[in-house]
Structures are given as structure tokens and as C-alpha cells.
Amino acid sequence: MSTASKPRHTYFGSMLELQDKVVSAVAKALSENPDSIEEILGKNYSNGTDEQVKRIYSTLVNSDDAQKVQTEQKSALEEVLDIDEEADATFIARRGEDAELVFSEQLNNPLEQRKDFDKEKYPLASGLAVKLTDYLNWKTKKLKRAYASLREKQKEYLAEFDLTKLQKYEQKDLARDLNVSTSTISRMLKNRYIEVKNSLGKKKLFLANDFIVMTWQVKKYAFFPSWNKMLNEEMKGKKAYTDAEFAAASGKSLSRRVIAKYRDILGIPKSSKRKEEYQMGRTEPYRVKLRSPV
């Protein structure tokens, strides 16, 4: 039986769908103009915390006509789910050492609850403020732990972006380490970025989910050196291995279909075309790149 726990408050899950800037804008409005927020919540009260936040945000971006904002084809609410490519964290890798982990300003300074909020005067606004504070502090702690776990698990890959060094670390593994559900991990890491500076001085922006690695991916990357060896052999012998032969050489860990798909992605022609090129005098073998592009 799984020991993963649900978020402490049930609304945390739905709140994870909202973009950070939306939650921050509403939190700021609560602090600076509680009268207005109390009025908005009083007129359009909803039990869903995420719905309250979206309603307030739609008013903030177009206070003159909130209803129009909610019904336009390209409404302000669609901005809630836009992708923001600002990195939450930076991994600074050094050969032979653990990568340094540096958090963004936002993760280092989670929202603090306003101490002088008049709960009697602003019962709805103060309730929402407490919920936002609890949610942001919970999310910040979980994200920091997630990034620390990803750094530790993929530290060999981080050094040189060598794909063969990636370790299996699935959503369920991270969920277990953070004591949450896999669905929470999926929503929490969606559209979140990590910047990596490897030991060679190369810099690359990754999606956090790039470090969630499945078993089939590990098997694929593990076969890359052998695949390159076979590509070198066929060039010298002026022959060409078929996708089925590559798949067999992988110990059947990769199917012919997977080989064909990845070969196409890499721009490596079919066996008949490669054989023709070799017989025409091609002297450079095709290669499967072992390192992520930067």
C-alpha cells in the first residue's frame, strides 16, 4: 500500500494549476487593498480557493469590465496557465563534486502572512490570505526538496550533459521521496524550469521534468555507445545494419519501432540510403549524440 500522503489541504492540488505570477498578484492585492478584495469575494463567493484567486485576478487585469474578461475568447484567465521560463533553481556542476544548488529569489522568499490583518473586518479576505500563505509555503518547501532530489539523483549527468549518465528516477520515485502523490508531482513540476551550468562551462535551461527519467529512457541511452560502434563498423564495411539488427543488438530492450523513431529524430537515414552513401565514398560515420545539445 502506498504511503504517499495527499496535500495537507485539499485545495493545494487545484492551486498547483495556477501560474506563480497570478497567485503573487492576488496575494499583493490582498495586502494592499483588502477592502476591494473583500467586496469582490462578497459579491462572487466561491468555495474553491483556486476559483477565488482566478476571479480576483481577472478583476485586477481588467477592473473596468471583469465580466468581459471572463467571456472573451482570449481572456485574462488564459494567462493563468501561460508558461514562464524563469528558472526556479540553478545547478552549478563541478567534476567530481556535488552540484551546487541555488534557488531563485521567489523560492527563497515565500509569502509571509500579514500580521495585522483585521479578521473581523475582512473575514473573507483574511481567510483567503491564510490559505495562500499556507499553500505558497507548502509548495516552496516541496519544490526545494524536489530540486535537491533531482540534483542528487542526476549528478553524473549534470557534469557534462552525458545522456548515458542519466539515472532512472520516475515520478513515483520522487513522489515517494516527497511523500506526495504522483499526480501532485505532475502538477507541481509542470512548466517549471531549472538552469544548469555544467563542469565544461556550458549553460542550458531544462524543464524540471527533463530530470524525471523512465526505465525505457535509461535503456535507450545505455545503448547509444554500442549503436555508434555499429554505425562505425558499417561505414568501414560499406554495409548498413537494419533497424531490426540494431534492436537485436540492444538485447531487445529497444524495439525496432523505437530505433526507427529515434533514428529519424537524429537525422540518420534508413539502411538502404546509408549503404548507398557508403558505396559512393562516404568516409564519416553517422553518430548518435551522447550529450544533450546546449
Q: pLDDT value at position 80? A: 42
CA distance 126 to 38: 9
Q: Is the pLDDT of residue 121 over 50?
A: yes
| Residue-wise pLDDT tens digits, 137-165 | 899 999 999 999 999 999 999 999 999 99
What value does the mean pLDDT take over residues 113-142? 85
| Residue-wise pLDDT tens digits, 51-69 | 999 989 988 876 544 344 3
| Contact (CB, 8 A) for 54 and 77 | yes
Comparing CA positions, the residue from 202, 238, 220, 208 lying closest to residue 95 is 202
CA distance 193 to 294: 15
Q: Is the pLDDT of residue 221 over 70?
A: yes
Comparing CA positions, the residue from 231, 244, 242, 197 lying closest to residue 92 is 197
The dihedral through the CA atoms of 168, 212, 180, 142 has a sign that is positive
Q: What is the DSSP letter of 270?
A: P
Residue with cell 537525422: 267
Give the highest mean pLDDT range of 41-50, 77-86, 242-251: 242-251
Q: Is the pLDDT of residue 72 over 50?
A: no
Q: pLDDT value at position 31? A: 85
CA distance between the termini of the chain: 42
| Residue-wise pLDDT tens digits, 264-281 | 988 999 999 999 999 999
Give pTM, 2 decimals: 0.80
Instruction: Please report, rounded to a whole number, the percentage of residues in the chain having pLDDT higher than 70.
Output: 85
Quote the strand ranges of 173-273, DSSP E. 193-197, 203-207
Distance of CA 87 to the CA centre of its chain: 10
